[in-house]
Amino acid sequence: MNTGSIDLAVIGGTGVYAFPGLEQARRIDASTRWGAPSSVIVLGRVGDRRVAFLARHGEGHTLAPHRINYRANIDALHALGARRVVGINAVGGIRADMGPRVLVLPDQLIDYTSGRASSFCDADGEPVLHVEFGEPYSALLRRDLLAAARRSGIAMVDGGCYAVTQGPRLETCAEIRRLRRDGCDLVGMTGMPEAALARERGMDYASLAVVANWAAGCGPEPDAPVSLDAIKAHLAAATVQVPVIVRELLAR
Ligand code: HPA
């Protein structure tokens, strides 16, 4: 069901379960050969631009990162006509300038996940693809997001390596030390296989990472345990900026 061109798809992560103020919104119960996406897809307008929104963990946050049907999510958006996708990802900060509430536009990732259905190339009729993935995020979409944030007066760190872990537990301090040695700046659980699947479907994809907490053993109080209440508060404060950036992105 291609409903015509969609200017942008937004996949909301932890703390982002809706896109506020979508006009003429309608809810679409999509289905794909891979199963059902995480949630209904809300199709609506921002001015004259068409936007699709999907809650990655489900609208009531019922899906853990390893239980998300990433293939159904990407394929459903693709089938609806989306060719540009911004994935919002809550992450832990490893690098000193990536503390709670900072927004980051990663430019690299390392995939530490295992056992996730991570390719479309394992069903009859699907072409065997070895997609180019040296630069996992769309340079054009990253450029446009950075410019939109700048025009909105919202600070966003340009670049960083996103470590995608299996979860759902958080990491040990030793695991984070290893990720740092590997060159990772951020750690989260949902960046993959989403980015690779979008590439397989030929979509422009970028991750907008919202730092929810210092990763284990990082930050000014490295011995402090990661507090879930603090994570919620940081995400609530930081994610309000996401629709502002997206609206500005769509304004040009
Ligand atoms: N680790 C992994 N995933 C996360 C974290 C973290 O510290 N914070 C938010 N998502």
Domain annotation for the chain: domains and CATH numbers: 8-122+134-250 (3.40.50.1580)
Give me the chain's average pLDDT, please: 95
| Ligand 1 mutation target, pool 56, 61, 91, 112, most atoms within 8 A of CB | 91
In this structure, what are the phi and psi dihedrals at residue 112, rounded to the nearest 5 degrees? Answer: -105, 10
The whole-number pLDDT of residue 135 equals 98
The whole-number pLDDT of residue 224 equals 87
**188 C-alpha to center of ligand 1: Å?**
5
Q: Is residue 1's pLDDT more than 90?
A: no
What does the pLDDT average to over 80-91? 98
Nearest CA to ligand 1 atom 2: 188
Radius of gyration of the chain (CA): 17
Q: Is residue 2's pLDDT more than 60?
A: no
Minimal CA–CA distance to 54: which of 43, 66, 65? 43
The whole-number pLDDT of residue 53 equals 98
The whole-number pLDDT of residue 4 equals 57
The whole-number pLDDT of residue 127 equals 87
**38 C-alpha to center of ligand 1: Å?**
20
pLDDT, tens digit (0-9, with 9 covering 90-100), for 158-183: 999 999 999 999 999 999 999 999 99
Would you list the DSSP string of 109-141?
EEE---S----STTSTTPPP-----SS-S-HHH
Q: pLDDT class for 203, splitting at 50, 70, 90?
A: very high
Q: Which atom of ligand 1 is nearest to the CA of 165?
A: 2
| Ligand 1 mutation target, pool 66, 187, 211, 228, most atoms within 8 A of CB | 187
The whole-number pLDDT of residue 36 equals 97
Minimal CA–CA distance to 149: which of 103, 86, 91? 103
The contacts of residue 17 (CB under 8 Å, 6+ apart) are 55, 57, 59, 60, 61
pLDDT, tens digit (0-9, with 9 covering 90-100), for 61-70: 899 999 999 9
The contacts of residue 247 (CB under 8 Å, 6+ apart) are 46
Ligand 1 binding residues, C-beta < 6 A = 90-92, 165, 170-171, 187-189, 212-213, 215
**Measured in whole angstroms, how far is the alpha carbon of residue 40 from the centre of its chain?**
17
| Ligand 1 mutation target, pool 89, 98, 173, 213, most atoms within 8 A of CB | 213
The whole model's pTM is what?
Answer: 0.96
Minimal CA–CA distance to 36: which of 71, 12, 66, 1? 71
pLDDT, tens digit (0-9, with 9 covering 90-100), for 216-244: 999 999 998 888 899 999 999 999 999 99
The whole-number pLDDT of residue 123 equals 86
Q: pLDDT class for 96, splitting at 50, 70, 90?
A: very high
pLDDT, tens digit (0-9, with 9 covering 90-100), for 9-51: 999 999 999 999 899 999 999 999 999 999 999 999 999 999 9
Q: Is residue 143's pLDDT more than 80?
A: yes
